[in-house]
């Protein structure tokens, strides 16, 4: 996915999967143009016990989008009496985004999680396009991040290796993208649920 056009808020947001699980991550800086608005913004969200979402773009838009998606997911669980699959959560977000296509949310979204069919990483653009891949990067730092992922990703990464690769990828992007920085929020999901929810520094 291409980065949002400047001067929309910058970000480096990624998702990576392997048979061991899924990690989603984003840095914490909110910038607009050349101005750093905040150094402590959370762009990584838990949606269910085994699925989360990470966003790049306008913080207000991503917060409203995730809030509405969580409400829809909770209704799904009440009506269907089962946990939604990662693909179902992706489709809920996709429908919300497409429904706003004339006044779109200025946010790119990565959904990552584990269900009965395995680990999944889904990437959505502001109009609701839904693509599944082994890894994804969005935001102004996506070009740098995807270069690291292309070089270092392996299909059989363990849980610790997934986490370490996510940290390395975002740190590398932060070093090159001035719109990204000030720490990294990460969530690691496995078949057992949310295993790690951590914030790490950006210094090597």
Domain of 96, in residue numbers: 13-200
Interhelix angle 86-99/59-80, nearest 10 degrees:
130
pTM for the whole thing?
0.91
In a domain, 179, yes or no: yes
Question: Which pLDDT tens digit goes with each residue over 24-71?
Answer: 999 999 887 778 888 999 999 999 999 999 999 889 999 999 999 999
Q: Is residue 32 part of a domain?
A: yes
Q: At what angle do helices 159-176 and 142-152 cross, to 10 degrees?
A: 140
Residue 146 lies in a domain: yes
The total domain count for the chain is: 1
Q: Does 41 map to a domain?
A: yes
* 10-residue averages of pLDDT along the chain (204 residues): 53 95 95 84 96 93 95 96 96 95 93 96 95 95 94 95 96 90 95 94 68
Q: CATH number, domain at 113? A: 3.60.20.10
The predicted structure's pLDDT at residue 202: 75
Q: What pLDDT, on a 0 to 100 scale, did the predictor assign at position 203? A: 66
Q: What positions carry a catalytic annotation?
A: 12
Q: What is the pLDDT of residue 115?
A: 95
pLDDT of residue 6: 46
Quick one: pLDDT at residue 129?
94
The answer to whether residue 158 sits within a structural domain is: yes
Per-residue model confidence (pLDDT) at position 4 = 46
Which is nearest to 53 in space by CA: 102, 2, 94?
94
């Amino acid at each position: 996915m291409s980065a949002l056009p400047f001067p929309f808020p910058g970000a480096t947001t990624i998702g990576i999967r392997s048979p061991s699980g899924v990690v989603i991550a984003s840095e914490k800086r909110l910038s607009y143009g050349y101005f750093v608005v905040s150094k402590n913004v959370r762009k990584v969200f838990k949606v269910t016990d085994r699925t989360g979402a990470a966003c790049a773009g306008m913080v207000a838009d991503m917060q409203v989008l995730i809030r509405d998606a969580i409400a829809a997911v909770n209704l799904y669980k009440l009506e269907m009496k089962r946990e939604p699959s990662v693909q179902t959560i992706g489709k809920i977000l996709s429908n919300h985004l497409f429904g706003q296509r004339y006044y779109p949310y200025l946010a790119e979204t990565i959904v990552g999680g584990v269900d009965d069919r395995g680990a999944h990483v889904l990437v959505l653009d502001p109009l609701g396009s839904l693509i599944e891949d082994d890894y994804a990067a969005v935001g102004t730092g996506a070009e740098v991040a995807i270069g690291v992922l292309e070089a270092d990703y392996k299909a059989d990464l363990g849980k610790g290796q997934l986490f370490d690769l996510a940290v390395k990828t975002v740190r590398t992007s932060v070093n090159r993208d001035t719109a990204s920085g000030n720490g990294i929020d990460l969530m690691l999901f496995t078949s057992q649920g949310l295993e790690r929810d951590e914030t790490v520094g950006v210094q090597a």
